[in-house]
Structure 1
Amino acid sequence: MPVPQTKAELLQAIDVQFARLMRELERIPGELYREASLDGHAKGTRMSVGDLVAYLIGWGELVIKWIDRDQRGEPVDFPETGYKWNELGRLAQKFYGDFCTLPPAELIARLRRSKETLEALITARDDQALYGRAWYGKWTLGRMIQFNTSSPYANAHGRLRKWKKAKGLA
């Protein structure tokens, strides 16, 4: 799928990749959600399906926070307060911990809510606001949203397919 360049393309990319991801997640038995058998986001680490979903929730909610703070004219700590861009593995570990007690159904519901909130934030903006100017460094708001929604949804889908095949679940 090409990189979105408009609001409509961004919304479509999010919907398509999210639907693909959900089809994979819905077919995973709940008892396997906490088994740390997937390659982790930091080199040499392992994570569970629940951790993968937590990672997606964490980034989705972080983007919502960025947009909210920006709208209120408050400074935004990119990527997150207390983290630098070269510490994303540590941030991933934080996300895993933030959601480690949620059962699979609640993880999925929270992921769905973050996606829906982001879609509402996108819908409230026009192409100019999303793609007409740099929002963070050289990146537009639309591109920052895409980096943290449709792209990781596609990556997670691929990770799950590979994992399911290795586990004989495909």
Structure 2
Amino acid sequence: MKLPTTKQELLDKVRASHRKLGVEAATIPASHYRHTAMIWQEPRLHTNAAMVLVDVIVWNTMILQFAHDRTPGPSASFYSPSAMAQRAERLSAGFQRRFAGRDLRELEAMLTEGQDRVLDCVAHHSNASLFDPALSPMKTLGRKIQFFTSTAYDDALSRLRQWKQVL
């Protein structure tokens, strides 16, 4: 996979991740989105479409936090891939409870709003701030935003597809 090197390439990649998940989410039957099924992942997981969408909302929130944090130095470990994944896992239950009463359309609207905010955040950064030439390409803000987005959205896409197969 080619790494983004410009703001426009990053926006295109983030939009592509959003679009793929949106296409899949559009096929979720509103009458079944809270039906729980066991999908095969490590470890085995019971999930439903609402849980998957809420987890992506968690990720959008964390990506925005990361993109806005200008703290240099030690905070970098706070945003490592493993730390972000652990934090998403810890936050998920609270978000799931908070949004338990939301219907499918509300969750989709919240997801779209989060996506728009991530895109807006990226759009407000300069190429230099996203892809600082003094940093390794893997450590730039733009690359990390792209990595966190694609990782979260690819996982959600996989979980939704598995859930639909079992359902």
Give the shorter-chain TM-score range: 0.7 to 0.9
Change (3 A) 1:145 1:41: farther
Deviation of 1:38 after TM superposition, in Å, equals 5.0
The equivalences for 1:48-127 within 5 A come to: 48-70=48-70, 78=78, 84=83, 87-88=86-87, 89-127=89-127
- SS of alignment partner, residue 162 of structure 1: helix
Stretches of structure 2 that go unaligned for 5 or more consecutive residues are none
Change (3 A) 1:158 1:45: closer
Deviation of 1:159 after TM superposition, in Å, equals 2.6
| Cα distance in structure 2, aligned partners of 1:27 and 1:116 | 21
Higher fraction of helix: 2
| Cα distance in structure 1, aligned partners of 2:85 and 2:19 | 30
| Cα distance in structure 2, aligned partners of 1:67 and 1:105 | 27
1:34 partner amino acid? R
Aligned match of 1:140: 140
Q: TM-score, normalised by structure 1?
A: 0.76
- SS of alignment partner, residue 18 of structure 2: helix
| Cα distance in structure 2, aligned partners of 1:76 and 1:103 | 36
Change (3 A) 1:100 1:148: farther
Q: Deviation per CA, 1:99-148, whole angstroms, max 9, x where unpaired?
A: 2222111111111111111111111112211121559xx72211221122
Q: How many residues align?
A: 160
| Cα distance in structure 2, aligned partners of 1:36 and 1:156 | 15
Deviation of 1:25 after TM superposition, in Å, equals 0.7
CA contact (8 A) 1:38 1:46 kept: yes
> Runs of at least 4 residues of structure 1 off by over 4 A?
none
Could you say what the CA RMSD is over the residues aligned between the two structures, in angstroms? 3.1
